[in-house]
């Protein structure tokens, strides 16, 4: 019996469509939001990320953004050729997006 035949007589909620999770099944209670509300929240979050230039990137995010490996990123920072680094904790560093943009602009040939 195919899955389509099994689901043919069930409503959308009972079919457990992707995006509609059963919160109690996972042991958490969380409010389900409508798809239009989820889209609105995603757009707002995207706008905030785009306009906020002093967001701190983790070291891994910084390497990914610039398209090089972690080893190359460490080599650049150890040489002192990279952007200013923020010490986030004893073992964690970060780079501001604005500092990264300035560093990239200074490297233009």
pLDDT at residue 47, as a whole number: 76
* pLDDT tens for each residue of 60-109: 999 999 999 999 999 999 999 999 999 999 999 999 999 999 999 999 98
% of the chain beyond a pLDDT of 70: 68
Q: What is the pTM of this model?
A: 0.54
Q: In which domain, by residue range, is 81 found?
A: 56-106
Q: Is residue 72 part of a domain?
A: yes
How many domains in the chain?
A: 1
Q: Is residue 24 part of a domain?
A: no
pLDDT at residue 98, as a whole number: 92
pLDDT at residue 18, as a whole number: 53
Query: DSSP of the chain, one letter per residue?
Result: --HHHHHTTS-HHHHT-TT---GGGGT-------HHHHHHHHHHHHHHHHH-TTPEEEHHHHHHHHT--HHHHHHHHHHT-S---EEEETTEEEEEHHHHHHHHHHT--
């Amino acid at each position: 019996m195919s899955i389509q035949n099994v689901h043919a007589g069930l409503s959308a909620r009972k079919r457990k469509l992707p995006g509609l999770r059963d919160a109690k099944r996972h042991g958490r209670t969380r409010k389900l939001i409508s798809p239009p509300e989820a889209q609105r929240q995603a757009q707002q979050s995207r706008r905030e990320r785009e306009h906020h230039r002093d967001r701190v990137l983790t070291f891994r995010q910084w390497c990914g953004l610039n398209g090089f490996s972690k080893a190359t990123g460490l080599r650049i920072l150890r040489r002192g050729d990279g952007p200013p680094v923020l010490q986030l904790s004893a073992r964690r560093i970060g780079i501001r997006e604005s500092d990264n943009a300035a560093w990239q602009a200074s490297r233009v040939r």
